[in-house]
Amino acid sequence: MNYITEGDTFKGFLKISSPIVANNILQSILEMVDLYFVGRLGPQAIAGVAISGTLLMVLGSIVVGLATANTALVSRFYGANEMQNVGTTIVHALFLGAIFSLLLALVGMFFSRDMLLLLGAEEEVANLGASYLRVLFVGVFTMVLLWLVSASLQSCGDSFTPMMIMIMANLINMILDPLLIFGYGTLPPLGTAGAAFATVSSRGVGLIIGIWILIRGKSLIEVPSISHLDLNLIWRLIKIGVPNGVQSGIRSITFLVMMGIVALYGTSAISAYGIAGRMELVALMPGFGIATATAIVVGQNLGANKPERAEKSVILSLLIYGVFMLVVSIVYYTLAPQIMLFFDPSGASTAIGVSYFRTLTPFYLLIAASIVLSFSLNGAGDTKNPMYATIFSMILLQIPLAYYLPNILGIGTEGIWIAMAIGVTMQTLFLFWIYRQGKWKHMVV
């Protein structure tokens, strides 16, 4: 019996979502560990890594779209019991992921520092960020392909195996972080580049294990031998993936532009934004796990022709993630000064960071709703409407407001945070309107 398409909906949802959420929580812990060790190098290092991470997200947004397309198709095929199509889709997704990784590596190897300077980073910040970014770009294939392997297993209902792979990879990453960043014995200190080497190395080990599991038939998936590429399948992956890639790209570009606007207020502001952004990502990671599970459940149930069951899973997801984000918002609002001082002992970025948390945490419930609704639509194969919602809320509203409100109201960076709150509010309303129309239940992929 397929527990996602049959039996108790709540139990099935918990079974698929729990390992994904646990995996994302572990990833969040890793983000905090990375930030903690990099923070020992000073505010410039924090700023360099923060800008670099955002730039990597922008350039890698097409890979996000590919992963979403892979999940939509694989979960649909698995729900319809079309096992040959499941394996074939995964092979084609990995091929496209390798191609995109190569392109990203070429861009990052030669233009990392120039791109950071173009974004307004100071000389020292750009140098620290570039040493971090070059390593990540060269080894980005380990992250991209591991992501696709994990998403493929999850789409077939196996969320436990990816969790175990990531537990091992994250433990390796945490051990390597201090050794490579600060050096040990004859091992020289590599600074920010050490954090990147730790990430790439740990993901490389995870990728080797994941590929071995697929090839040796140790999973629910049978990977077929393919003598030639199916251009029609590649087109279907691209057709579904491009709108989501654009959506992800817009989000990343928005964050990048926002980083540029924040940079107008100095290195301390960038550092504060970097710390707050990382902590916000920590809070969002469990929700991304819940939303990912929702996308899988939606895809499989639509493939099994059970749209009512798919809709029930969306409601469950909204309730579970809503409660979680309510708790997080209270904690972050209350402990904002302590959080900032923990990651930046100098205290240079504390006031700005506290302002960020106190302004945006009341809107965390809306952020949770927008993530769940967006992933649900994507899981159904509707990647265009979430893209339109993102364009409207971020490009047309958030960025212009973030640039002008600080000067109009005379409140500095707090005006930027208010613009972000307005943007997420409008995005959530747009997505809810699309979801309530119900057209996603009849999407053909």
Does residue 322 form part of some domain? yes
Write the pLDDT tens digit of every residue in 235-247: 999 998 888 888 8
Specify the range with the lowest mean pLDDT, choosing from 23-27, 198-202, 367-371.
23-27
Structure confidence at residue 1 (pLDDT): 64
pLDDT at position 57 over 80? no
Retrieve residue 404's tokens.
């002008």
Does residue 1 form part of some domain? no
Q: Angle at Cα 126 formed by Cα 396 and Cα 117, nearest 5°?
A: 50
Q: Is the dihedral of CA 222, 226, 232, 238 positive or negative?
A: positive
Q: How confident is the model at residue 46 (pLDDT cuts 50, 70, 90)?
A: confident
CA distance 339 to 356: 12
Does residue 228 form part of some domain? yes
The whole-model pTM stands at 0.79
Angle, helices 192-215 vs 43-59, to 10°: value is 40
* Total residue count of the chain as it appears in this document: 445
Give the number of domains in the chain.
1
Higher-confidence residue: 109 or 397? 397
Among all chains, which residue has been given the structure tokens 């393919």? 226
Does residue 248 form part of some domain? yes
Question: Which domain does 325 fall in, by range?
Answer: 10-442
pLDDT at position 35 over 80? no
CA distance 268 to 399: 21
Residue type, 428: T
Write the pLDDT tens digit of every residue in 147-186: 899 989 998 888 899 999 988 998 998 899 889 989 888 8
Does residue 5 form part of some domain? no
Does residue 4 form part of some domain? no
Does residue 160 form part of some domain? yes
Does residue 426 form part of some domain? yes
CA distances from 266 to 44, 47, 273, 390, 408 (A): 11, 10, 11, 28, 19
Q: How confident is the model at residue 218 (pLDDT cuts 50, 70, 90)?
A: low
pLDDT at position 54 over 90? no
For 417, half-sphere exposure in the C-beta direction (CA atoms, 13 angstrom radius) is: 22
Structural contact between residues 68 and 383, judged by C-beta atoms closer than 8 angstroms: yes
